[in-house]
Amino acid sequence: MLPLTAFLLIYSTIIVPENYKTIQEAVINASLEDTIIVGEGIYKENVSITRPISIISRRGPDFTTVWAAVPSEPVFKVSNVNNVAITGFTVTGSLLSGIYLYNSNNGTISDNKTVKNANGIILYGSSNNTVAGNSADLNANYGIYLDSSNRNSLGKNSASSNNDNGIFLSSSSYNNLTDNNVNHNTWNGIILWDSSNNTLKENKVWRNRFGIVISGGGNNTLINNSTWSNIYIIMPLILAYIGIISYLVQRRVLQTIYRV
């Protein structure tokens, strides 16, 4: 077991903006497996990550926003690298993707808000990643998009109010989608396109044009997902009916009390 000082020498912590003004500068100067802590504020930049590091916001996504300086590029792009973690940012303003993993494995994307991009989170050719606790809402196309990406875990994410699909798996297999909220997307809630052996468990897929769509592929497992597309249309009628019953009950009670 390494002593603490040796640990600190091997894995150091870089603080933005104290040590470096921008996140990208900190990434360039980081060593392998360093942690970059980002203070609150709005950072207008595109961050390209090509080495295994962790980038964590100090105060969470409500206080730390990264805005695409070049809108045609992703805000965070992770290319050909394993073991990257991105945690706790609001990521917005990209015409491509908020967070983009390209050929990158074993990463962790957690507790981010990837809103108002073309796509919230894209995984392309990336495997064994954990995408958890993110809000991929209000994007122009997809909330979370996996292409040729296998054995990833998507849990407790929100992919809602996107202008196309909430979660889109294309040619992706052995992924686990658990306890995600996928609501109010313009087209499909969750779509599996030519994707096999995926497990969808306890996802809430409400008020989308189509709930869960499986096209091509096979051996996908669906367990306890709820797709109550029309509950909110029926609900007020049920409530008004309860109101009428409530009137009858109140009248009977008062008639009994006042002996009318």
Residues near other proteins, by CB under 8 A: 137, 160-161, 183-184, 204, 207, 226, 231-232, 235-236, 239-244, 246-247, 250-251, 254-255, 258, 260
Nearer to other proteins, 104 or 117 (CB): 117
Q: Measured between alpha carbons, how far apart are the two ends of the chain, in Å?
A: 85
Q: Is the dihedral of CA 117, 99, 61, 45 positive or negative?
A: negative
Between 6 and 239, name the residue whose CB sits nearer to other proteins.
239
Sign of the CA dihedral with 90 first, then 199, 123, and 130 last: positive
Measured between alpha carbons, how far is 192 from 229 in angstroms, rounded to an integer? 19
The residue (of 1 and 260) whose beta carbon lies closer to other proteins is 260
**Shortest reach from residue 246's CB to other proteins, in Å:** 5
Is there a contact between 16 and 23 (Cβ–Cβ < 8 Å)? yes
Smaller CB distance to other proteins: residue 215 or 250? 250
Q: How many CA atoms lie within 13 A of 229 on its CB side?
A: 10
What is the number of other CB atoms lying within 10 angstroms of the CB of residue 257? Answer: 8
CB 172 → other proteins: shortest distance, Å?
26
Q: Which is nearer to other proteins, 221 or 230 (CB)?
A: 230
Which amino acid is located at 66 in the chain? V
Partners of 87 in beta bridges: 56, 110
- Smallest separation (angstroms) from other proteins to the CB of 245: 9
Nearest approach in angstroms of CB 236 to other proteins is 5
Which pairs with CB-CB distance under 8 Å and at least 24 residues apart come from 191-196? Answer: 191/165, 191/167, 191/215, 192/217, 192/220, 193/168, 193/169, 193/217, 194/170, 195/169, 195/170, 195/171, 195/220, 196/220
- Nearer of residues 3 and 243 to other proteins, judged by Cβ: 243
Tell me the closest approach of the beta carbon of residue 91 to other proteins, in angstroms: 18
Cβ proximity to other proteins: between 2 and 231 the closer is: 231
| Closest residue by Cα to residue 120 from 161, 82, 148, 153 | 161
Residue identified by tokens 């009628």 is: 237
**Shortest Å distance, C-beta 232 to other proteins:** 5
Whichever of 4 and 240 has its CB closer to other proteins, that residue is 240
Minimum Å gap between C-beta 259 and other proteins is 11
Shortest Å distance, C-beta 105 to other proteins:
32
